[in-house]
Amino acid sequence: MKPTHIRLRRACVAAAAAGMFIGPAVAGSAAYGAPAAPAPSAPSPSTPSSPTPGTDEEFRRLTPAVAAQLDAAVRQVMRETQVPGVTVGLWAPGKGSYVKTFGVADKATRAPMATDLHVRIGSETKTFTVTALLQLVDQKRIGLDDPIGKYVTGVPNGDRITLRQLAGMRSGLFNYSLDGDFIKKLQADPERPFTPRQLLDYSFAHPAQFPPGARFDYSNTNLILLGLVVEKVTGRPLHEVITQKVLAPAGLRHTVFPTSAALPAPYAQGYTDQTASGKIENSTRWNPSWAWAAGEMVSGLQDLRSWARTLATGRLLTPETQAERLKTTPMDIPGDGYGLGIFNIQGWIGHNGSIPGYEVLPVYLPEAQATMVILLNTDVQYKGQEPSTLFGQAVTSIVTPDHVYPGKKPPAPGGG
């Protein structure tokens, strides 16, 4: 679908098979995003099966021949989508690794993509915010079934919407990043800052979309509220809590929750068509404050590799809380589900992220103990699909044909 408004792509969710965003990619499209297709009402939660050691059936050995197939597939998607630069990383115990960069990090200087570059990660931020929230659950300082009105005043249905429903995208609250006035202001001045309360005002100007818990609907508003809960309970800014309680114990030294538009060096330039003119522009210096707890963070390849496993295995949480996190409800296509700030798509656990100029896809496949990380320096869609989704399809159709992300094999070369 041609972008007509800013999409902080839903890093998570939707079916590429239907040309939808797979992101609760963030703020993605999650952060600026179009609504996902409705999921069935009141679905029954499910929990992923326990990890088992990898086998050749679950994940192909990354031999030179397989690497050559991957090279060709990535280059084919690049030709079709005109993505400036992409980095692909694959790792699985006993199967080898594949880490390669393609294209350029800067279209002006033609500097090549590199494995040490920082990028904005959009809705992947949601996984960090919800982890900080779930740590408070483990500390018995909050309960997942507490109403949001206990912590934040003025929320429509605030006495009925629970923290669990917010984290699971089932609150019914309007997504502020779809508000017309918000879009106009952001496009007119993408370097302007926004406060969390301003973002909520855009959402609360609209009626609730449906009763709490009735269905799945990806909304960045949910994560803004959860960020405020973390701040209220801890008495500290969200970026400090995530830095000290999530990033530090996870050993992520190259991941930051910024308080300005600055990116830590070195970084890739980002390119987007989510502009007032509709033309592709450099969005590297756009202020990501509008995405805050839903999509403001920055990271890189190796940190996202580590985080994908930490997130999927629950290393920072108690087993009981991680089990709650991994209970999913259906999204758009069979085999896909969304838990608490996390998805399970054809067995790949994690979250995607998209914010103007960048997309990321860090996911973990427990059956093979395998990790896949894909980083792009654009969010420009191709025939209505997120480019990160197309790369994910192309890569997984080769290395995990029984677990093709997001559930549909990519079109044959030249097939459109």
Q: What is the pLDDT along the chain (416 residues), one digit of tens a residue?
A: 222 233 544 333 333 322 223 233 333 333 333 322 333 233 334 433 333 343 457 899 999 999 999 999 999 999 999 999 999 999 999 999 999 999 999 999 999 999 999 999 999 999 999 999 999 999 999 999 999 999 999 999 999 999 999 999 999 999 999 999 999 999 999 999 999 999 999 999 999 999 999 999 999 999 999 999 999 999 999 999 999 999 999 999 999 999 999 999 999 999 999 999 999 999 999 999 999 999 999 999 999 999 999 999 999 999 999 999 999 999 877 779 999 999 999 999 999 999 999 999 999 999 999 999 999 999 999 999 999 999 999 999 999 999 999 976 544 433 33
3-state secondary structure the chain: CCCCCCCCECCCCCCHHHCCCCCCEECEEEECCCCCCCCCCCCCCECCCCCCCCCCCCCCCCCHHHHHHHHHHHHHHHHHHCCCEEEEEEEECCCEEEEEEEEECCCCCCCECCCCCEEECHHHHHHHHHHHHHHHHHCCCCCCCCEHHHCCCCCCCCCCCEHHHHHCCCCCCCCHHHCHHHHHHHHHCCCCCCCHHHHHHHHHCCCCCCCCCCCCCCCHHHHHHHHHHHHHHHCCCHHHHHHHHHHHHHCCCCCECCCCCCCCCCECCCEECCCCCCCCEECCCCCHHHCHHHHCCEECHHHHHHHHHHHHHCCCCCHHHHHHHCCEEECCCCCEEECCCCEEECCEEECEEEECCEEEEEEEEHHHCEEEEEEECECCCECCECHHHHHHHHHHHHHCCCCCCCCCCCCCCCCC
Confidence (pTM): 0.88
